Amino acid sequence: MATSFRPNNSVQDKIGWNITEPQRVKVRVWILAGVLALAFGGLAARLWYLQILQGGTYLAQAQRNRVRRVPLPAPRGLILDRNGKLLATSRASHAVAVVPAALPSARTQPKEREKVLRTLGYLLKTTPKEIEARLLEAQKKGGNLYDPVRVTDGADLKTITLVEENKPRLGPAVLVTDEITRQYPNGSLASHVLGYTGIVTARDMERSEAAVLKNPKARKLRFDDNIGETGIEDEYDGLLAGTSGSALYEVDSRSQPIRRLDTIAEKAGNTVKLCIDAKLQAAAEKALKGASNSGAAAVIDVRSGEVLALASNPTFDPNIFSLSRRDPRRTPEIERIFESALQKKQAANPKARYAFKRYVVNRAVTSHYPPGSTFKMVTAAAGLEKGIINPTSPVFYCAGGMRLGRFFGCWSTHGGENLIGAMANSCDVYFYQTALRLGNSEGSGPAFLAKTARQFGLGSPTGIDLPTDGKGLIPDPAWRKAINKNRPELARWFPGNTLNMSIGQGDVLATPLQMALVTAAVANGGTVWQPHVMKEIRDGKNKLIAQSKPKGKATGISAENLAIIRRAMRSVVTNGTGKSVALPQVTIAGKTGSAEDDNHGLPHAWWVCFAPYENPKIAIAVIVENSGHGSENAGPVAKKILEAAFSLP
């Protein structure tokens, strides 16, 4: 090969390539070697980082791609009545769930994701938007990307079949899972006592996390847990809720299970037996349903404070909260109840809660009413304790009312009445006069009457083992002054306020449960019980976990004076305003009441009683809202309850 040398010390071959002199070649070789060394060093470092430092993380991710952990929900515990009748149970059902991590990415594969969600939405009769909303909600509540998120509950066989048939189109993200649904076999029976369950919200999760921080043994909620929302389901949620398990499956490339690798068994919740007597409860609800308006009834064992029945009308079927959103049984009225309950839980606009208040609120425990003439038991006790009245004297004359600044009427003209006759005929004037003689009508008198009312438990929560517990209101001059401290013109207590208070009107408020407890205290000789609904709790091996014991306090009213009040209440039934409630087989003592309602033309109808008179066992309080006289509207409801309590034909 011919070669020619040029002055620039380069060598050029005959085809025109320049060959650098050896020294420059050597430098370039070292540079190239350095670059290669750095590249291989970087690769080695990256390999060390992936396999050594992050090896565990990527191994776990690989395992998640190969295995699926499917939650096994635990059944909630049974709820039974005092005689073992089943009130609440659980049943197995199926749900369709989506694993977010297995869905096509919304960022890199939006069309594929939309196709999967549109297909699933069509099968479930929902929309991709609703499915995405459920996934987002689960994420906000702490669910991770590999947790199956239920997008429909209570899936029927047809839906499950459709989903399985379309698995090739849906891909590995869609699963059919097991779930446990709460069931109430007696429908609306005792629904206000039992309550209902619902899926946790973000607020529930926050409260759970706070509770666990304070008490590590507190129940830690998952994003898809069902919890008690109201009633016994809420009050004893931690004991009724079981412990969920899980099953670990090896899956193929289509996410189909190949074999089960591991199982953590679920544990059912405890069984809660109530003091409620389903027979009495059914009788109370049926009687209230036949009344002329909404109302409530409370039935107490006067010997222990056990709650035998708590009824509220109108009622609702708690099974509606277990229905799928697409279930055809969810009528528009049911939908209103459901939505109003959800709005209340989420603290939505109070004006949107009418349906919840009308159907779901337990009137027997929560709703406050003027007790009307049933409060005369308290006024009589105050007068007897002060020594200003006795069964036969003094005799106060009723001319249809009395004038004290303005005219304070009585519902009839009774003439001369002593305590026994005034209670029997519910003479307002007698109790007006009694209240005026308790002391200064603008100070010590009403203060003493208020003190006596509080001795019977009025004006304070009852302590019942339910999430809601109305306290009512017992006013007095100090209270009026306190609430009007910035309005001195309204701070004065007038003698007329004392007259109104003496007959359970004005600012006096009480719940039906409170009035049942007052009646029970009169009947049992002076013990105000703390009412309780739970009788006992047992675990899956029938081991006793908890048991209620009677708790009460003395009224401080003498046994002799309480006996006089009982005698006066007996006269109400034998020859007074409550004669229509009399039963030939059982001796009853009671008191009627008609409480004025400023917002309605007709008064609330009240009836309270205890039986048998000689050896009291139960006390009953009934209210029928805005319906008129107690003897005509509330009395018949109590009569039906008494017939059921004593097994009368």
CA distances from 21 to 24, 27, 416 (A): 6, 11, 140
d(CA 633, CA 614): 26
In a domain, 104, yes or no: no
Instruction: With 0.95 as the threshold, say if the pTM is over it.
Output: no
Q: What is the Cα–Cα distance from 486 to 495, expressed in whole angstroms? A: 22
Residue with tokens 């071959």, as numbered in its chain = 13
pLDDT in tens, 219-276: 888 888 889 989 999 999 999 998 888 777 776 665 556 777 777 888 899 999 999 9
Task: Give residue-wise pLDDT tens across range 13-58.
Answer: 554 555 555 666 667 777 777 778 787 777 777 777 666 766 666 5
Residue 379 in contact with residue 428, Cβ under 8 Å? no
Q: Which pLDDT score is estimated for 352?
A: 44
> 549 exposed, middle or buried (CB, 10 Å; 0-12, 13-18, 19+)?
exposed
How many angstroms separate the CA atoms of 503 and 490, rounded? 22
Identify the DSSP state of 12: E
Q: Report if residue 224 sits inside a domain.
A: no
Domains in the chain, number: 2
Asked whether residue 534 is assigned to any structural domain, the reply reads: yes
List the CATH number of the domain containing 626: 3.40.710.10
The tally of CA atoms less than 13 A away on the side-chain side of residue 583 is 25
C-alpha triplet 636, 637, 638: angle, nearest 5°: 90
Per-residue pLDDT, 347:
47
Judge contact between 275 and 548, C-beta under 8 A. yes
Note the helical H segments in 473-582: 477-483, 495-502, 512-524, 559-575
Give a yes or no: residue 592 inside a domain: yes
Give the pLDDT band (50/70/90) at residue 462: very high
Contacts of 494 (CB under 8 A, 6+ apart): 405, 442
Q: Is the residue at 433 inside a domain?
A: yes
Within-domain flag for 120: no
537 lies in some domain: yes
- pLDDT band per the 50, 70, 90 thresholds, residue 350: very low
- Please identify which residue in the block is written with the tokens 């650098």: 20
Domain membership of residue 362 (yes or no) is no
Domain, as residue range, for 437: 372-645
CA–CA gap between residue 105 and residue 210 (Å, rounded):
34
